[in-house]
Amino acid sequence: MQDLQLPPIDYGAIAPMLILFGVACLGVFFEAVLPRAARRSTQLVVALLGLVAAFVVVVIQSDTRILTAGGAVAIDGPTLFLQGAIILLGLMALLLVGDRSLEQGGAFVAQAAITVGSDADRRQATRSQGATEIYPLAVFAIAGMMLFVAANDLLTMFVALEVFSLPLYLLCALARRRRLLSQEAALKYFLLGAYASAFFLFGVALVYGFAGGVQFGTIHDAVRESTQSTILLYGGIALIAIGLLFKAAAAPFHVWTPDVYQGAPTPITGLMAACTKVAAFGALLRVLYVAFDGAAWDYTPVLGAIAVLTMLVGAVLAVTQTDIKRLLAYSSIANAGYLLVGVLALSKEGLASTMFYLVAYGFTVIAAFAVVTLVRDADGEATHLSRWAGLGRRSPLFAGLFTFILLAFAGIPLTSGFIAKFAVFGAALDSGEAWLVIFGVITSMLLAFPYLRVVVMMWLSEPGESTPTVSIPGGLTAAALMIGVVATLVLGVAPAPLLDLTTNAAEFVR
H helix intervals, 375-415:
391-394, 396-410
User: Measured in Å, how far apart are the chain's first and last C-alpha atoms?
Assistant: 31
Backbone angles phi, psi at 322, to 5 degrees: -120, 5
pLDDT number for residue 364: 97
Which of the 8 DSSP states describes residue 388? G
pLDDT in tens, 216-272: 999 999 998 877 778 999 999 999 999 999 999 998 999 999 999 999 999 999 999
Looking at the domain assignment, is residue 340 inside a domain? yes
What percentage of the chain exceeds 70 in pLDDT?
96
More confident residue, 22 or 123: 22
Helices 324-343, 256-263: axis angle to 10 degrees equals 130
pLDDT number for residue 2: 43
For range 47-68, the mean pLDDT: 94
pLDDT in tens, 32-44: 888 877 787 889 9
For range 191-199, the mean pLDDT: 95
For range 47-69, the mean pLDDT: 93
Looking at the domain assignment, is residue 8 inside a domain? no
pLDDT number for residue 311: 96
Looking at the domain assignment, is residue 433 inside a domain? yes
CA 361 to chain centre: 9
Predicted confidence band at 7 (pLDDT cuts at 50, 70, 90)? low
Least confident of 143-157, 213-227, 488-502: 213-227
Looking at the domain assignment, is residue 92 inside a domain? yes
Peptide bond into 252 cis (omega under 30): yes
* Structural contact between residues 101 and 130, judged by C-beta atoms closer than 8 angstroms: no
pLDDT number for residue 228: 79
What is the Cα–Cα distance from 133 to 171, expressed in whole angstroms? Answer: 9
For range 204-217, the mean pLDDT: 92
- Domain of residue 25, residue span: 15-505
Looking at the domain assignment, is residue 9 inside a domain? no
pLDDT number for residue 125: 67
**How many domains in the chain?**
1
For range 142-171, the mean pLDDT: 95
Looking at the domain assignment, is residue 365 inside a domain? yes
Looking at the domain assignment, is residue 7 inside a domain? no
Looking at the domain assignment, is residue 25 inside a domain? yes
pLDDT in tens, 110-128: 777 777 777 777 777 666 6
Least confident of 196-205, 391-400, 441-450: 391-400
For range 2-25, the mean pLDDT: 80
